[in-house]
Amino acid sequence: MTALCTTLPDHLRLLLVDDHRIFLDGLALALAPLARGLQVDTAQNAAEAEQRLQQQTYDLILLDLRLPDEPGLELLQRWLARGEGTPVAILSASDSAVDAQAALAAGALGFIPKSADGKALRQAVTRVLLGETLPAPSSTSPLTPRQLEILQLLAEGLPNKAISRQLGLAEDTVKTHLKALFETFEVHTRTACVSAAHQRGWL
């Protein structure tokens, strides 16, 4: 056990929320050296996680971004809205700085990529348990200046025709940019696109 980990109490209880059983088992194994009395509970979807939280109190929840029944960030925001005090760190297969920033904006205390090795994982979890917020990787917006302009007008509620008139673009060009925006944010509606942009701090 590293010196870093000895600052943690002997008895810790963690909740791991991920829909891949093999990953959960491996994660529990990787975290085992954190504390002598470490207890790890698991949940494979949002409903199971809610059930666990009603039955137990936890020192930390490690939450996957993508669950089969509800997005991880929506679940996190619901917990925060009702005053759930357990710290949450996001674990994700994504290494995207955009996802990391969205997680921190939603109230997570850290974003840990699943590609992290056991030592890096334990160090990240230790820092969160000790009250630190892990900084997100720095990232500039991957959107073009034109896409950012369209996003801003979208947020103002303008229809395609008004956007094309205001920016001096063909309506088909506006539609092409909108399609690219929807793909970037992985959404299907204008409202969801604006909401996702707000979450990432791009509006």
Q: What domains sit in the chain, N to C, each tagged with a CATH number?
A: 3-129 (3.40.50.2300), 145-199 (1.10.10.10)
Burial class (CB in 10 A: 0-12, 13-18, 19+), 130: exposed
Residues 156-198 pLDDT 10s: 999 999 999 999 999 999 999 999 999 988 899 999 999 888 7
pTM over 0.75: no
The closest alpha carbon to 16, from 32, 36, 4, belongs to 32
- Please name the residues in contact with 117: beta carbons below 8 A apart, sequence gap of 6 or more: none
Residues 32-57 pLDDT 10s: 999 999 999 999 999 999 999 999 99
